[in-house]
A and B are shown apart, each in its own frame.
Chain A
Amino acid sequence: QGKFTLLRDTRTDGSFLVHHFLSFYLRAGCKVCFVALLQSFSHYNIVAQKLGVSLTAAKERGQLVFLEGLKSCLDLVFGEEEEQPGQPSPLQFLSESTSDLKALFDFVRTSLTPNGSDSWKGPVLLVDDLSVLLSVGAAPVAVLDFIHYCRAAVCSQLKGNIVVLVHSNEDSEDEENELVVNSLCHHSDLILWVEGLATGFCKDVHGQIKIIKRVSLQLTAEPDLIQIYQYKIQDKNVTFFARGLSAAVL
C-alpha cells in the first residue's frame, strides 16, 4: 500500500510489464486509473484478453478509468469550440502556454477519489510512458511536479499505488529525460529495470530485468536489495529464469 513503482527500460521495450500490472491490479479488485499516452485502447484490450482480463467489462463496471492520450489529444487539437467549461481536457498543456500538468492531475484525482458506492480495494495509478509527456512539450519540472502531486494524493492520502513507465538510456543525449528518470529513481520504492542484453539480440533470452527494492529508503542503514533475472516473452506470459539458465541452454 502506498508504494511507488518505477518501470524503467533501456534498449528494449518494457511495455510487457505495464500489461502485467494492469491485469494484476484489475484481477485484485483495485480501482485503476490508466493514463495511456502511447497506444490505443484496443491494443491494451487485446493483450489484456490474452492475460485473462476484459478491459471493456472493467470500464463498464467502473473499475477502470482509461485516459486514451491519443484520442483526447485529437479532440483537443481538432475539436469544436464547445468544450464544457467545467471539464477542461486533461491534456490541456498541449494547447496552452501554461506548461503545468494541473489538468492531468485533476483528472487523476477525480477518477481515483472514492465515491460512497465504490467497493474497490485501494486505488492505483498507471502511467504508460512518462517520456511522451516530455516529447510533447511539458517541461521536466512540470512532469516531476505532477508525479509529486500524484504521490501525495494517491500514495499518502488514498493509500494507493502508482506504477510509471519511463524510457532511459545510459548514453542518451536527452538530458531532460535523464533528469526525470534519475529523480524518479531516487523517490521510488521499487524499481523494475528492464534492459536488453549487452551482447546483443538473442532469440531465447529477450533481456534481463533488475529488481531493486529500495530498502535504503526506510532509514535502517541497509543497502538496496537487487535481484537480476533474465526473461523471455511468449505470447501469453513471460518466463523468468536465473541468468544463464534459459531453457535453450539447459
Chain B
Amino acid sequence: MAAAAAGGGAARGCGATSFQRKAAGGSRLAAIAGTRPSVRHGQLLLSSGLPSLDCVLGGGIAVGTLLLIEEDTYGLYSNLLFKYFLAEGVVCGHDLFVASAKEHPDNILKELPAPLLDDTYRNELGEEGTAVKSEDFQDSMKIAWRYQNLPKMEASPTSSTKFGHYYDISKRMSPELFQSIKRHSFYLHEESSLEPKMKACNMNSAYARLLQSIQRIIYQEGFDGSDPQKKQKTILRIGIQSLGSLLWGDDICSSDTPEDIHSLTKFLYVLRGLLRKSLSACIITVPAHLIQNKAIMERVTNLSDMVVGLESFIGSERETNPLYKDYHGLVHVHQIPRLNSLICDVSDTKDLAFRLKRKLFTIERLHLPPDLSDTVSRASKQELAGSAKLLSSGCGAMAIGKRHLDF
C-alpha cells in the first residue's frame, strides 16, 4: 500500500493513494499489525472485530474503504458492531478516531468489550468441532447416500487464519490495553466553531467540522504518506456514530422534505476522498429506518463501499415467530465493493441472521427449523409460508402466491 510503495511514493509526493499494489518482491517494510493482504485485489484487509462479518464482507474491510451500517430500530446491535470495530483497533494497536453527537467518545471507549484470550476460546471451539466430526465419521449415510460426499455445511462462516479476534461482551476492556493507543475524539457539542481554512461548501456545519477534524488528524499524524520519516506505520480506524440523525443538525430523519438533502452525500463524497488517500478505514452507522426520503439512502449506498443493514426482531411480530426463535435479527448485505478488479468476493449465503448469545455476537446463515408441527389450521401455515417467502435472495422475491396449496 502506501507503506510498501513508500520508496517510490516518496518521489511522487503526496499524490500516492492507499490503493497501490504491494510490491511484488514482498514487503521490505514490516507489515502493519492487524492486517493481511487480500488475495483477490492486493489491498490490505482489516478485521471488523467480528470474524463472521469478515467472511461475509469478503475477507475483511479493505484499507481506504467505508463500511456503512444501517441501524436497527433501537440501535442496540449496530452499536455493538461499532464497538467491535473499535475494540479490534485497540487489540491490533491501531489509532482510533471516534466521532459522536450522542455520547461522549470517552464513554464509548470505556464500554468496549474485552478480548477473549485466544487459547481458551479456540479450545472450546475446537472441542465442539472435533466432537461433531467424530460423530459424523461413524455413521455413513444410509438413506441420503448421494449427499455423503458433499462438504459439511458450516452454520457460521469462519476462516481458518488467525485474523480477527473474539470478544466477550459481558466484560469491559481493561484500561491497560488502551495505554499505547492514540485516540482522537470528536464530540460535536464540545467542538469549537469552524475554522476559516475550509470552505463551507454549503454543507451542514457539523459535518464540515467533522471533515476538517478528520483531515487534520490524517495530515498531522501522517496517515496520508506525507511524512516519509515515520517508521512505524499504523492504520487509523474512524468510527462515526449515528450520522444523519437529528443530533448532527441534519433534518433528513425528521422531515419529508429536508432543508438540504445533499449535505450527507457531500460529506460522504469528501470522506471517500480522504479515506482513499490515507491508511484508514471507517465505520459509520446511519439510522436508515428514520430517513423518510429513500432517495437519500440510495445515493448514500452508491457512495459507500460496503453497506450492511441490520434488522432486529425487537418489537416486531417476528419476535414470537417460531421460525426465528434462535435468532435476534436479520442481516442484509446490500453492497460489496469491487476493488481493483472486475469481480468481488460475494459470499454464497444470502440469508444471514445474527444472534446475541450471553457473551458472543455472531452472524450466521439462517436455518429454518424443521416443520414438525401437526397443526391443521391454515393460519399458521400461511404465516410460515409468508415468512419462507422472505428468505429469497437479495435481488428479487420469488413469485409465490399467498395461498398455501395443500395436497
Binding site for B on A (CB under 8 A): 11-13, 15-16, 19, 38-43, 46-47, 50, 70-71, 73-74, 76-78, 94-95, 97, 129, 131-132, 134-137, 167, 169, 172-177, 196-201, 203, 233-236, 238
Contact = CB atoms under 8 A, between A and B. Distances in A.
Given A132-B302, A136-B262, A201-B393, A97 B398 contact: no
B199 A95 contact: yes
Contact of B19 (A43, A94, A131): A43
Contacts of A234: 342-343
A207 B299 CA distance: 22
Given A46-B341, A70-B276, 5 more contacts: A42-B17, A42-B19, A50-B341, A77-B198, A94-B266
B366 to A, nearest CB: 15
Contacts of B19: 40, 42-43, 46
Contacts of A169: 298
A197 B274 CA distance: 35
Contacts of B302: 129, 131-132, 135, 167
A235 B342 contact: yes
B392 to A, nearest CB: 6
B276 to A, nearest CB: 5
Contact of A78 (B215, B293, B395, B396): B215
Contacts of A13: 338
Interface centre among B201, B269, B270, B293 (most CB of A within 10 A): B269
B290 to A, nearest CB: 15
A43 B340 CA distance: 5
7 contacts: A74-B274, A74-B277, A77-B199, A132-B303, A196-B396, A197-B396, A201-B350
Nearest to A175: B295
Contacts of B265: 135-137
A73 B392 contact: no
B360 to A, nearest CB: 28
B374 interface: no
Interface centre among B42, B273, B393, B396 (most CB of A within 10 A): B273
B132 to A, nearest CB: 27
Closest 9 CB pairs of A and B: A174-B295, A70-B273, A200-B393, A42-B19, A173-B294, A135-B299, A135-B265, A46-B340, A137-B262
Contacts of A201: 346, 350, 393-395
Interface residues of B, number: 47
A233 B345 CA distance: 12
Contacts of A176: 295
Contacts of A198: 395-396
B211 interface: yes
Contacts of A199: 395-396, 398
A137 B198 contact: no
A200 B394 contact: yes
Given A136-B265, A136-B266, A174-B298, A71 B277 contact: yes
A10 to B, nearest CB: 10
A95 B350 contact: no
Interface string B370-407: 00000000000000000000001111101000000000
Contacts of B32: none
Given A47-B341, A136-B269, A11 B274 contact: no
A197 to B, nearest CB: 6
A41 B277 CA distance: 11
B222 to A, nearest CB: 16
Contact of B269 (A41, A73, A95, A236): A73
A19 to B, nearest CB: 7
Nearest to A44: B340
B348 interface: yes
Contacts of A38: 303
Contact of A74 (B41, B270, B299, B398): B270
Contacts of B262: 135-137
Contact of A135 (B199, B303, B392): B303
Contacts of A46: 19, 21, 41-42, 340-341
Nearest to A232: B343
A238 B396 CA distance: 24
A42 B12 CA distance: 14
Contact of B295 (A73, A97, A172, A203): A172
B73 interface: no
A98 to B, nearest CB: 11
B206 interface: no
Contacts of A11: 395-396
A77 B215 CA distance: 11
B273 A73 contact: yes
A129 B339 CA distance: 16
Contacts of B294: 173-174
Interface string B333-358: 00000111111001010100000000
Interface centre among A42, A74, A169, A201 (most CB of B within 10 A): A42
Interface string B197-215: 1110110000000011001
Interface in B175-215: 197-199, 201-202, 211-212, 215
A77 B211 contact: yes
Contacts of B102: none
B3 to A, nearest CB: 14
B156 interface: no
B269 A132 contact: yes
A77 B341 contact: no
Contacts of A40: 17, 19, 276-277
